[in-house]
Amino acid sequence: MPLESGLLEILACPACHAPLKEQDDELLCTDQNCGLAYPVRDGIPVLLVDEARRPA
């Protein structure tokens, strides 16, 4: 389920403060050096670094 249009504009990566982009059921950090992927569960972004998936 896509996030509300205005919500994605104000969210940022908690680790590096870069903008996030939505992809499938995750929010991906747009910073090349960070690249963390945060899960979206039941339409709610889980912006906890401990819950994020590291880039492969």
CA–CA distance, 50 with 47 (Å, rounded to integer): 9
For 40, what's the count of Cα atoms within 13 Å in the CB-facing half-sphere? 18
Distance of alpha carbon 34 from alpha carbon 5, whole angstroms: 24
- Give me the tens of pLDDT residue by residue for the chain, a chain 56 residues long: 677 778 888 999 999 999 999 998 999 999 999 999 999 999 899 999 999 999 87
* Structure confidence at residue 1 (pLDDT): 63
| Cross-strand bridge partners of residue 21 | 28
Spell out a b/e string for 20-43, using b for 16 or more CB atoms within 10 Å of the CB, else e.
beeeeebbbbebeebbbbbebeee
The per-residue pLDDT for 7 is 86
pTM: 0.88
Residue 15: the pLDDT is 97
pLDDT at 22: 92
